[in-house]
C-alpha cells in the first residue's frame, strides 16, 4: 500500500498536458557549415516549460456534453468544464490558495465532487459544488482524511471513506444526493483496507497485508445482519492480491493476483459460486481494469516496460474496440458517457504533455478538446526517452529510460541519474517538464528503475527488501559506470537526483560513496528511524507491510540508523541541493533541516530551498518553476 499510495500521489501531480506539434509551425533553416543540430536547436527556460497547463480528470456529465477536469492554468489547480464539442472551456472554481482535485460530476445534474487539503498536508476533505457555485465541505472537522469511493448504481447516493472516528482506519459512509445526509454503512473495527464496493452497495472488498508480499481479499455482504469479512483468496505461500472493480451486474469481482507467475493477472471471482477464473493476462503486469457505466466496454491497462498499453474490449461484440488513427503517444484516462455512445481520453508522450480528446463511437474522427502546451516550444527541440538496460554489480539487468540531449551531437555532456520515489515506484515514459527542461539545457537524464521497482515482476520487486541503501544503491553506482561507457557523456560530470525515496538514495549516494559530483535531494527521507516512527496514523493498515520492506524501528534500529544519511553528513564531499515542502507529512521538514546542518558541519556546500505552502510534491506552478530554475542554476555552477 505504501508503494501504491506514494506512486499514486506522484502520478496525480505529473499529468502534464500540451499541444506542441511540429506541424503547428515550420522552421526554415538556411544551410550552414555548422552541424544542423546546432542550427535549428533552441533552449527554453523553466517559465517556458511551465506555460503548459497540467490537466487531469475524465468524468463526463449526465447529458454527455462536458468533461470535468482540474488544471493549473491560473497557477494552482482549479475545476473546469470542458465541452466535448470543442467549444469554450469554463472555469468552475476560483481557489487562490489550495488546489482543487476533481472527482466526479453528479449523475443527474451539473453538481460535482472534489477534494482539497491545506498546503499539501494530505488531509483531504471531500466537497460538493452545486450549480450556483456554492461549496459544501461534506467531511468537516480537524485532522481527518476523506476519500471518494464510488457512486451507487441508483444515482441517488455515493460512498466515501473517512478516518474521523479512528485516525488509523477508514469507515464507509453513504451520502444522499438530495440533502447530503449520510449514514455509516461499515465500521472498520478490524483495520482492514477498503478496496472497492459493488455498484448496488451490497458488497465491500477489503484487503489485509500479512506481509509486504502476502495479502488477502475479504468480501463483506452488508445485507447480512453480522457483516463479517469472508476470505475469498485462500492460498499457500506469498501471494499478493488487490481489487480492480465489480461487474455491472454485481455478480463478479475483478481482482489482481501474482499467484501464477512473476506478473499480476486479472482474475474474476463469482460471488454466487465462489469460483475463480482468469480474465486477462499478459507478459507484464495488468495495472488496472474497469468497465463503462453500462457495462458494455472493459478498459484494461498493461504496464509494458514502463509504458501503458491499453486494450478496450466491446463485451457485446466480443472484440476489441476499433478507434480512428490517433496522434502518437500513450492512450490514458479513458472514460465513457453514461450510454457509452461517446468517450474521452488523453494522449501523452515524452515530448508532448497530455491533451484531452473526445470521440463518438463508430465515427471516423476524434476531436481535440485542450491545447495545453506552449506553442513557442517545438517538439523537435525536445527529446524522446529510450528504454535501455545495464548490468549491476551482481549481473542483474537493470532497466532505465535514457534522454540524450541535442547538444550531445556535437560535444560531451554532463549527466544525471534520476531516481523515482517509493520505495517500489517506477520511472515511466511520458512528459515531464522537469526532465525536458534539464535535457533541453544540455544535461543527459537517465531515469533508473533500480531493483525494488514495480513493473518488472515480483522477484525484482522484492530484491531490495531490508536492503535499502545497499544493493539498490549499488544499482545507482553501476548506472554511473554504464553512463561512462557512452562516448557522448562527460565521464567526469555525473550527478544524481531524486524525490522522496529517490531523494533518500540521492543522499545515500552522496554520503556513502564518492562517485557523484553533485546531488539534488527533493524531500528525501534521511532519517529512517524517525520516518518509520512517525508515519501518518492513516497508514496503520499497512504498517506491517512497511516494516517488512524497510525494517521495524523497534527491532532494526541499528541498521536503520546506519543507512540514514543524516547521521553521516560529514562524509558528503560534493555539493548538494535540498528542496523541501514545509507541510510534508511523510518526510518532515526537520529531516531536511538536520540533513542540511549535518552536511554544513562537515564543511561541504549545500543549498536549501523550502516552500512554505507545499507538502510531499509541489502543486503550485510558481513553486515548480522556482524549483526547476534552482536545479538548473545549481547544476550550471557545480556540474
How is 103-132 classified by DSSP, letter by letter?
EEE-SSSS-EEEEE-STT----EEEEE-TT
Per-residue pLDDT, averaged over 134-163, amounts to: 97
pLDDT in tens, 167-183: 999 999 999 999 999 99
Per-residue pLDDT, averaged over 571-596, amounts to: 95
Per-residue pLDDT, averaged over 559-579, amounts to: 97
Higher pLDDT, 511 or 17: 511
**The predicted structure's pLDDT at residue 50:** 93
- In the predicted structure, residue 25 carries a pLDDT above the cut 70: no
**The predicted structure's pLDDT at residue 327:** 85
Percent of the chain with pLDDT over 90: 87
Q: How far apart, in Å, are the Cα atoms of 58 and each of 18, 75, 146, 331, 508?
A: 16, 21, 21, 13, 40
- In the predicted structure, residue 81 carries a pLDDT above the cut 60: yes
Higher pLDDT, 5 or 71: 71
Q: CB neighbours (10 Å) of residue 499?
A: 25
Per-residue pLDDT, averaged over 566-585, amounts to: 96
Residue 12 has what DSSP assignment? H
Per-residue pLDDT, averaged over 377-399, amounts to: 96
Mean of all residue pLDDT scores within the chain: 91
Please tell me the distance from the alpha carbon of residue 233 to that of residue 8, in angstroms, as a whole number.
25
Higher pLDDT, 12 or 286: 286
Q: Per-residue confidence at 27, pLDDT binned at 50, 70, 90?
A: very low
Higher pLDDT, 328 or 390: 390
Q: Are 43 and 342 in contact (CB under 8 A)?
A: no
- In the predicted structure, residue 337 carries a pLDDT above the cut 90: yes
- Domains located in the chain, CATH noted: 379-638 (3.40.50.1820)
- In the predicted structure, residue 15 carries a pLDDT above the cut 90: no
Instruction: Say what the pTM is.
Output: 0.91
**The predicted structure's pLDDT at residue 438:** 98
- In the predicted structure, residue 18 carries a pLDDT above the cut 70: no
Residues 513-540 as b or e (16 or more Cβ within 10 Å = b)? bebbbbbbbbbbbbbbbbbbeebbebbb
**The predicted structure's pLDDT at residue 351:** 93
Residue 623 has what DSSP assignment? H
pLDDT in tens, 220-245: 999 997 788 999 999 999 999 999 99
Q: How far apart, in Å, are the Cα atoms of 233 and each of 206, 259, 268?
A: 11, 10, 11
Q: Per-residue confidence at 611, pLDDT binned at 50, 70, 90?
A: very high
pLDDT in tens, 415-456: 999 999 988 999 999 999 999 999 999 999 999 999 999 999
**The predicted structure's pLDDT at residue 544:** 86
**The predicted structure's pLDDT at residue 227:** 80
Per-residue pLDDT, averaged over 203-227, amounts to: 93
**The predicted structure's pLDDT at residue 40:** 64
Task: Give me the sign of the Cα torsion angle 562, 566, 570, 576.
Answer: positive
Per-residue pLDDT, averaged over 488-505, amounts to: 97
Q: How far apart, in Å, are the Cα atoms of 544 and each of 209, 212, 215, 232, 526?
A: 7, 7, 11, 21, 21
Per-residue pLDDT, averaged over 196-225, amounts to: 95
- In the predicted structure, residue 58 carries a pLDDT above the cut 50: yes
CA–chain centroid gap for 46, Å, is: 22
Per-residue pLDDT, averaged over 360-365, amounts to: 92
Amino acid at each position: 500500500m505504501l508503494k501504491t499510495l506514494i506512486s499514486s500521489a506522484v502520478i496525480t501531480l505529473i499529468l502534464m498536458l500540451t499541444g506542441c506539434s511540429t506541424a503547428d509551425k515550420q522552421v526554415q533553416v538556411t544551410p550552414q557549415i555548422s552541424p544542423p543540430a546546432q542550427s535549428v536547436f533552441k533552449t527554453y527556460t523553466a517559465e517556458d516549460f511551465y506555460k503548459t497547463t497540467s490537466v487531469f480528470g475524465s468524468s463526463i456529465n449526465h447529458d454527455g456534453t462536458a468533461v470535468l477536469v482540474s488544471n493549473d492554468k491560473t497557477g494552482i489547480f482549479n475545476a473546469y468544464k470542458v465541452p466535448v464539442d470543442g467549444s469554450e472551456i469554463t472555469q468552475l472554481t476560483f481557489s487562490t490558495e489550495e488546489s482543487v482535485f476533481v472527482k466526479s460530476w453528479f449523475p443527474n445534474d451539473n453538481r460535482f465532487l472534489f477534494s482539497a487539503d491545506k498546503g499539501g498536508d494530505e488531509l483531504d476533505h471531500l466537497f460538493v459544488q452545486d450549480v450556483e457555485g456554492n461549496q459544501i465541505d461534506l467531511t468537516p472537522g480537524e485532522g481527518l482524511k476523506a476519500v471518494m469511493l464510488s457512486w451507487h448504481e441508483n444515482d441517488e447516493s455515493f460512498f466515501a471513506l473517512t478516518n474521523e472516528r479512528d485516525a488509523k482506519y477508514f469507515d464507509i459512509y453513504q451520502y444522499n444526493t438530495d440533502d447530503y445526509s449520510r449514514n455509516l454503512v461499515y465500521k472498520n473495527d478490524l483495520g482492514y483496507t477498503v478496496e472497492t464496493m459493488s455498484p448496488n452497495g451490497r458488497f465491500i472488498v477489503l484487503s489485509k497485508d500479512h506481509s509486504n508480499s502476502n495479502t488477502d481479499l475479504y468480501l463483506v455482504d452488508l445485507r447480512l445482519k453480522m457483516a463479517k469479512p469472508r476470505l475469498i483468496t485462500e492460498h499457500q505461500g506469498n501471494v499478493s492480491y488487490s481489487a480492480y472493480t465489480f461487474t455491472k451486474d454485481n455478480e463478479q469481482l475483478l481482482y489482481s493476483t501474482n499467484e501464477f507467475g512473476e506478473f499480476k493477472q486479472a482474475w474474476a471471482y463469482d460471488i454466487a459460486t465462489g469460483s475463480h477464473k482468469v480474465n486477462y493476462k499478459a507478459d507484464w503486469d495488468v495495472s488496472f481494469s474497469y468497465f463503462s457505466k453500462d457495462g458494455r466496454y472493459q478498459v484494461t491497462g498493461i504496464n509494458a516496460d514502463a509504458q501503458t498499453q491499453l486494450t478496450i474490449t466491446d463485451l457485446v461484440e466480443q472484440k476489441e474496440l476499433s478507434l480512428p488513427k490517433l496522434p502518437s503517444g500513450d492512450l490514458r484516462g479513458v472514460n465513457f458517457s453514461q450510454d457509452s455512445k461517446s468517450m474521452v481520453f488523453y494522449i501523452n508522450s515524452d515530448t508532448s504533455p497530455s491533451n484531452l480528446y473526445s470521440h463518438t463511437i463508430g465515427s471516423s474522427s476524434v476531436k481535440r478538446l485542450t491545447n495545453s502546451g506552449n506553442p513557442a516550444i517545438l517538439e523537435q527541440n525536445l527529446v524522446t526517452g529510450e528504454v535501455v538496460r545495464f548490468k549491476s554489480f551482481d549481473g542483474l539487468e537493470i532497466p532505465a529510460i535514457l534522454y540524450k540531449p541535442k547538444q550531445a551531437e556535437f560535444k560531451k555532456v554532463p549527466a544525471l541519474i534520476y531516481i523515482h520515489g517509493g520505495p517500489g515506484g517506477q520511472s515511466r515514459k511520458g512528459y515531464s517538464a522537469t526532465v525536458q527542461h534539464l535535457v533541453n539545457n544540455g544535461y543527459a537524464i537517465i531515469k533508473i528503475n533500480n531493483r525494488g521497482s514495480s513493473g518488472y515482476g515480483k522477484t525484482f520487486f522484492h530484491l531490495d527488501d531490508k536492503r535499502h541503501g545497499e544493493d539498490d544503491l549499488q544499482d545507482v553506482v553501476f548506472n554511473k559506470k554504464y553512463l561512462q561507457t557512452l562516448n557522448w557523456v562527460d565521464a567526469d560530470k555525473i550527478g544524481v537526483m531524486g524525490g522522496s525515496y529517490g531523494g533518500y538514495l540521492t543522499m545515500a549516494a552522496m554520503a556513502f560513496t564518492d562517485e557523484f559530483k553533485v546531488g539534488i535531494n527533493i524531500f528525501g527521507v534521511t532519517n529512517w528511524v524517525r520516518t518509520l516512527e512517525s508515519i501518518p496514523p492513516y497508514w496503520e493498515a499497512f504498517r506491517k507491510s512497511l516494516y517488512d520492506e524497510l525494517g521495524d524501528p523497534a527491532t532494526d534500529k541499528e541498521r536503520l540508523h546506519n543507512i540514514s544519511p543524516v547521521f553521516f553528513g560529514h562524509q558528503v564531499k560534493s555539493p548538494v541541493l535540498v528542496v523541501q515542502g514545509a507541510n510534508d507529512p511523510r518526510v518532515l521538514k526537520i529531516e531536511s533541516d538536520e540533513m542540511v546542518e549535518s552536511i554544513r558541519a562537515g564543511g561541504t556546500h549545500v543549498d536549501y530551498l523550502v516552500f512554505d505552502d507545499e507538502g510531499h510534491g509541489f502543486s503550485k506552478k510558481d513553486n515548480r518553476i522556482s524549483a526547476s530554475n534552482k536545479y538548473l542554476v545549481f547544476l550550471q555552477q557545480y556540474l
